[in-house]
Amino acid sequence: MEGTVYYPIGQQDFRELREDECTYVDKTQYIGKILASRHRYYFLARPRRFGKSLFLSTLRYFFEGERALFKGLSIYDAKWNWEKHPVLRLDLNVGKYEEPGLLDEALNNYFAEWEQQYDVEIKAESLSTRFGNIIKAAHLKTEKKVVILVDEYDKPLVGNLNKDENFEHYRTKLASLYSNFKSSAEHIKLVFLTGVSRFSKLSVFSDLNNLNDITFDNDFADICGITEKELLNNFYIGISSFADENEVTYEEALRELKRNYDGYRFARKGSDIYNPWSLLNCLSKRSIADYWSLTGKPTLIAEAMHRFDEDIESLLNTQCDEVALHGFDLRSASPLAMLFQTGYLTIKAFDPQTQLYTLGVPNREVTNSLFKELLPFYVRIKSGGDSETVVRNIINNILLGEPKKLVKNLDIFLAGIPYDMKMENENNVHNAIYILLTLIGVKAETEVRTSNGRIDLVVKTPRFIYIIELKFDRSAEEAMNQIEEKQYALPYAKDTRQLFKIGINFSSKTRHLDQPTIK
C-alpha cells in the first residue's frame, strides 16, 4: 500500500528491520566514531527500551561485513574494508534468572553453538574457561580478531538486587566470565557492553583500565533514542496520521508528543531525546498512552525512595555532580542514582561553573508511571467508587475555590496512610499530598522558598492560589500564624488570582487532620 509506514516496535534485529523496510533512524555514524577512537572496550548504560539491543545488532552485521544492509546509511561509504570478523553476541536480556542455575543454562546454549562453529577441541568444565577457549579458537580459525557484544550484561544482577544469595552467586559467575576480556586481549577486536548500571565489583570495571565508558560522553549522547531533528526528518507521515486521528494540527501533535515522550538527556551537551519505544507505539496506534510503563514497574525504585524517607519533590528536582549519577553500584546506590540510571530522572541542564547537573522527571509518561507506583507506599486507597469519588471531589474543590471542602476530602484521602508506616515527621504526609496532586494534574510545589522561610505547599490553578502550611502533632493555629508572621502571601500580592491561606495539622494518633484554619 502506497504511503504505508512500518514501525519496528520491539524489532531488535538490524537485518530483519532493513529487509522488512521498516522505518530506521540512522545511528551508524556512531560506528564511525567507534572506529575512529581506536578504543577496544566500550560500556554504555541506558534505561530499558531505549534501543541498546538494536545498536548491538547493528554492530554485529557491520563487523560481519554485511555491507548491503547499510546501503544509504551514514557508514556505507566509510573507509572500511568490510572484512568479516567472528562476532560473539551474548544477549542476557532474555532470561529472568530467578534461580542460580539459569545463567549457566543460557551460557551453555551459546557456548555449545560456538564451540561447534569454531572447532573448539578442548571442552573445559568451567564456563569462564570455555568462553576463553572460544574466543581464542574463533580468532585462530578465521584469522580475524573477535568482536564481543554483551546485551544487558547486568540483567542477572538487577533481577536479584533483593536476593543476597542469588546476587552474590551471579556476581561471582559474571566476574569470572568477563575476566576473559583482559586475559584474551590478544584475540579481541572490540568488546561492547550495555546495561543499566556499573557494578563496581565486577572484573570488567576493575580489571580493564582502558574501558571507554561512553554513558556521559557528549560524542555519544544521542546514540540511543530519537532526537527532535530525527523525529522531524523520519516521522512526518506518522505525525500527520496521529494529528488527523486526534483532530489536531500537525504543530499540536508535535507538542503532545513532546509533552509525553521527550525530555531525556544523557550528557552535558546532549540533545533532548524521545523515548523510542513509546514514540513508535504512539505513532503506530495514533494514540497517547503510557507505553513505557507497561514494560516494567518501578517497584524497586519506589521501595528505595520510601525507605530513605526523602522529600519527593526535592529529590525529583535537584542538583548533583557526575559522581552521584554514576552510582557505581545499583545495589547500594542512593535513590538519586537509581532514579537516573533507570530513566525516572534525567539531565535537564549543566552548569559549567559549578560542574553541577540539574535533574528532573523527563515527561508526563514517566511522571504518571512513577507516581502511580509511589502512591501505595504512602496511602492505601481502596479500589472502587468511594476512592474515585474522593479524588474527583479534590479536583473539583481545587478548581472551584472550595478550601473547606478541599481540606475535608484531603482528610478522607490521608486516612489511608498505613498504621505500620513510620510517623516520626511530616514527610510522609507531604509526599502523599504531593503525589496525589501531581497524578491528578494539579500544579503543586513543595518547600517553596520565600525571603522569610519555606512554604510547605503552594497549589496554583487559573483562578486560585492555595498556600498550605502543614504541622505535625501541633496545631492548625500555629500553622496559620506561621503563614501570617512570615508573610508567605507577599510574593503573590500582585497576582490577580484569589488566594487562600490554609493552616492544617495532622495528628499521628488519630491519623486525621485537625480542624483547619482558613483565610
C-alpha span between 475 and 516 (Å, rounded) = 9
- Residue 383: which pLDDT band, with cuts at 50, 70 and 90? very low
Cell reading at 199: 557494578
Higher pLDDT, 125 or 18: 18
C-alpha span between 365 and 354 (Å, rounded) = 31
- Residue 298: which pLDDT band, with cuts at 50, 70 and 90? low
Give per-residue pLDDT as tens, 153-203. 989 988 888 788 998 899 899 999 999 999 999 999 999 999 988 777 677
- Residue 111: which pLDDT band, with cuts at 50, 70 and 90? very high
Architecture of domain 14-220: 3-Layer(aba) Sandwich (3.40)
Q: Is the pLDDT of residue 151 over 60?
A: yes
Cell reading at 347: 539531565
Q: Is the dihedral of CA 286, 290, 293, 294 positive or negative?
A: negative
C-alpha span between 56 and 61 (Å, rounded) = 9
CA dihedral angle for residue 396, residue 402, residue 404, residue 405, rounded to 10 degrees: -20
The per-type count for the chain, helices as H runs and strands as E runs, is 22, 16
Instruction: Name the most confidently modeled range: 4-13, 115-124, 134-143.
Output: 134-143
C-alpha span between 34 and 384 (Å, rounded) = 55
C-alpha span between 301 and 316 (Å, rounded) = 12
For 348, residues 6+ apart whose C-beta sits below 8 A from its C-beta are 265, 357, 358, 359, 360
Fold (CATH) for 379-518: Trna Endonuclease; Chain: A, domain 1 (3.40.1350)
Specify the pLDDT at position 341.
86
Q: Is the dihedral of CA 418, 421, 426, 430 positive or negative?
A: negative
Q: Are 119 and 136 in contact (CB under 8 A)?
A: no
Specify the pLDDT at position 27.
97
Give start and end residues of each alpha helix (H) in 379-492.
385-400, 403-414, 427-439, 476-485
Q: Are 170 and 157 in contact (CB under 8 A)?
A: yes
Q: What percent of the chain has pLDDT over 70?
A: 89
Q: Is the pLDDT of residue 378 over 90?
A: no
C-alpha span between 135 and 149 (Å, rounded) = 12
Give per-residue pLDDT as tens, 415-450. 766 555 555 556 677 777 777 777 777 778 877 888
Specify the pLDDT at position 418.
59
C-alpha span between 261 and 366 (Å, rounded) = 8
Residues making up the chain, counted from first to last: 519
How far out from the chain centre does Cα 178 lie?
26
Parse the chain into domains and list their residue ranges: 14-220, 226-294, 297-366, 379-518
Specify the pLDDT at position 226.
97
